[in-house]
Amino acid sequence: MHTSTRIYLHTVQYFSTKILLPSSLLARTMFMTSSAMWFTVSLVFITIVLIRIIRGKAAGGVDPTSGKQHPPVVNGFALLGLLPRLLNKDLPTKINCLYRLDSEISHGNLLEFTVPMFGQEVAHGVDTATRNEQARFYLDALKQSKLRSHFDPMLQEVEEYFSKWGQEGIVDLKHEFEQLLMLISSRCLLGKEVREKMFDEFYTLFRDIENGVNLVSVFFPYIPIPANRRRDRARVKLIELLSEIVRSRKSSGRVEEDALQKLIDSKYKDGRSTSETEVTGMIIGLIFGGKHTSSHATTWTGACLLSHEKFLAASSEEQKQIMKKYKGRLEYEALLEMNTLHSCIKEALRMHPPSPMLVRKANKHFTVKTREGQEYDIPKGNTIASPIVQNNIMPYIYKDPHLYDPDRFGPARQEDVAGGKFSYTSFGGGRHVCVGEGYAYMQIKIIWSHLLKNFELELLSPFPNTDWNKLIPEPQGNMMVSYKRHRLLG
């Protein structure tokens, strides 16, 4: 018997009665030209409708075991009438529209396209049990107790980078952050071998892997198009480059304080050590996952701060007071006291999350309850989509959610805490929460602490829109900023 996959759209601490359209298709319709978009979407939906008619599968219904209802669904033909509305809106508007829609669709493996990027030996190229153990390796490499070891290398990269700025000038801050975060990643994650001897080569190869993420490769990751061929060649060369470093460290007994070393030293529960291909695949995945999100988060933080004088002044004053306490020297402990800056970053990520939604598969049957008290069964094997862009603007959790207001996370309000578990999911939640959250906040704090202390900044460009045409949403276009050095605060 065929088992169809339903994708349920839920928000924060409850599941909605709504269901999401195919995120493997609809969340990516903005990648295509208008004509190609219409053709592809229409073709897929018509195919879905025909398959449903042939199978004669009824929508909705009651679970035969528990007697509880499945979330309601509608006939596939109703979806076609929504196309003009969905295709003329940006992704958050589409998700908001879908949040009010019931439907049923088939759903493929969204992350299959990462296998030729990272390899068959890691992530979605291996079984769930192995993938969970590898997630543990990531967690151990980036856990809070080990962040201190990354502080000095991060700070050194930040100070060296901005020392090359003049007394005053105009820069594209988005581009500057992309360059800086890649330098930090090479230093703290890959180690000094890559940072000092082969950074340019690594960066070039890594860009070819990044550029292999496109609409075609997402749906057809193995089709032999030029971008996929360059991706595959780059990955082979990267594996050779990183494997040589791994072998060199093992043969010499040299131990470094970086994420690469932590992955080299990791062991599975059965006592097996990680292989060279596993280590290289995991470190490429770690950099891919962290470089873009940290760069975009740093940029969004800057755009928000430089557009809101009140919070820019509050953050600058906080830096002044902290630097007085620490005698003008940035220390790791000082980062932990930057509550205002932390809230400013957190609020920027609430409004501009690194990913538009979280997608999870139900590994077992369970029941959910809506805020209105209605209970529904979610069968095993079904896929649940949690739209972060919708969760983060829920008015019953966040007051005036469309306003940039870092004070909402302060001790007087704590809106995310009052809203309940999973009210704030910009870094995910549960067992699959982003393991690099602490690492990301540390990077961004070090960068903005340095900028606020040393420069007077002014945003020259309009506040950036979100570029939803990218797999990982980012600030659209350049973000031009004028800078002028001033004496250190304190």
pLDDT in tens, 405-453: 999 999 999 999 998 888 898 888 777 778 889 999 999 999 999 999 9
pLDDT at 375: 86
339 located within any domain: yes
Q: Note whether 195 and 245 are within 8 A (CB).
A: no
Tell me, yes or no, whether 303 and 366 share the same domain.
no
What integer is the mean pLDDT of 364-375? 82
For the cut 60, the answer to whether the pLDDT of residue 86 exceeds it is: no
Region of poorest pLDDT, from 33-42, 107-116, 151-160, 279-288: 33-42
Q: What is the pLDDT of residues 316-345, one digit of tens each?
A: 999 999 999 999 999 999 999 999 999 999
Specify the pLDDT at position 344: 98
Tell whether 330 and 232 lie within a shared domain. Answer: yes
Residue 31, in any domain of the structure = no
**In terms of Cα–Cα distance, which of 490, 463, 467 is closest to 479?**
463
Same domain, 331 and 435: yes
Note whether 217 and 249 are same-domain residues: yes
Among residues of the chain, what percentage have pLDDT more than 70?
77
For the segment 193-216, what is each residue's pLDDT rounded down to a tens digit? 999 888 999 989 998 998 887 767
- Are 195 and 247 part of one and the same domain? yes
Specify the amino acid at residue 34: S
Buried b (16+ CB within 10 A) or exposed e, 361-394: ebeeeeebebeeeeebbbbeebbbbbbbbbbbbe
- CA nearest 447: which of 335, 353, 362? 335
- Same domain as 88, residue 187: no
Sequence ranges of the binding site for heme: 434
Same domain, residue pair 368 and 457: no
Q: What is the pLDDT of residues 61-76, one digit of tens each?
A: 566 666 666 654 434 4
- Is residue 8 within 8 A of residue 357, CB to CB? The reply is no
pLDDT mean over 167-178: 96
Feature table: binding site? 434
Is the per-residue pLDDT at 141 higher than 60? yes
Residues 154 and 160: their CA atoms lie apart, in Å, by 10
Do 92 and 175 belong together in one domain?
Answer: no
Q: What is the dihedral of CA 470, 475, 480, 486, to 10 degrees?
A: -130
- Total number of domains constituting the chain: 2
Q: Is residue 401 part of a domain?
A: no
> Which residue's entry shows tokens 């900023």?
481
Taking residues 131-145, report their average pLDDT: 88
Between 72 and 103, the more confident residue is 72
Beta partners for 359?
385
Are 87 and 140 part of one and the same domain? no
What pLDDT, on the 0 to 100 scale, is given for residue 303?
98
Q: Is a pLDDT exceeding 60 seen at residue 360?
A: yes
Q: Are residues 158 and 75 part of one domain?
A: no
Judge whether 59 lies within some domain: no
pLDDT score of 387: 84
- Tell me, yes or no, whether 268 lies in a domain: yes
The gap between the terminal CA atoms of the chain, to the nearest Å, is: 72
Q: Determine the pLDDT at residue 24.
A: 32
C-alpha 359/C-alpha 24 separation (Å) is: 10
What pLDDT sits at residue 97?
54
Mean pLDDT of 24-40: 37
**CA–CA separation, 254 vs 268, rounded Å?**
22
User: Do 93 and 148 have their domain in common?
Assistant: no
Which range of residues forms the domain containing residue 199? 99-355+426-485
Residue 438: give its domain's CATH number.
1.10.630.10
Distance CA 174, CA 179 (A): 9
Of 467 and 463, which is predicted with more confidence?
A: 463
The answer as to whether 269 is a domain residue is yes
At 218-276, the pLDDT tens digits run 778 888 999 999 999 999 999 999 999 999 998 998 889 899 999 999 999 999 999 99
Backbone phi and psi for residue 267, each to the nearest 5 degrees, phi listed first: -135, 145
Window from 47-61, 169-183, 463-477 with minimum mean pLDDT:
47-61
Closest CA to 48 of 103, 94, 126, 97: 103
Is a pLDDT exceeding 50 seen at residue 52? no
Per-residue pLDDT band for 53 (boundaries 50, 70, 90) equals very low
Q: Residue 136 corresponds to which tokens in the numbers above?
A: 């543990």
Is 398 domain-assigned? Answer: no
Show the 3-state SS of the chain: CCCCCCEEEEECCEEEEEECCCCCCHHHHHHCCHHHHHHHHHHHHHHHHHHHHHHCCCCCCECCCCCCECCCCCCCHHHHCCHHHHHCCCHHHHHHHHCCCCCCCCCCCCCHHHHHHHCCCCHHHCCHHHHHHHHHHHHHHHCHHHCHHHHHHHHHHHHHHHCCCCCEEEEEHHHHHHHHHHHHHHHHHHCHHHHHHCHHHHHHHHHHHHCCCCHHHHHCCCCCCHHHHHHHHHHHHHHHHHHHHHHHHHHHCCCCCCHHHHHHHCECCCCCECCHHHHHHHHHHHHHHHHHHHHHHHHHHHHHHHCCHHHHHHHHHHHHHHHHHCCCCCCHHHHCCCHHHHHHHHHHHHHCCCCCEEEEECCCCEEEECCCCCEEEECCCCEEEEEHHHHCCCCCCCCCCCCCCHHHHCCCCCHHHHCCCCCCCECECHHHCCCCHHHHHHHHHHHHHHHHHHEEEEECCCCCCEECCCCCCEECCCCEEEEEECCCCC
Residues 195 and 235 occupy one common structural domain: yes
Q: Which pTM was predicted?
A: 0.80
- Asked if residue 481 belongs to a domain, the reply is yes
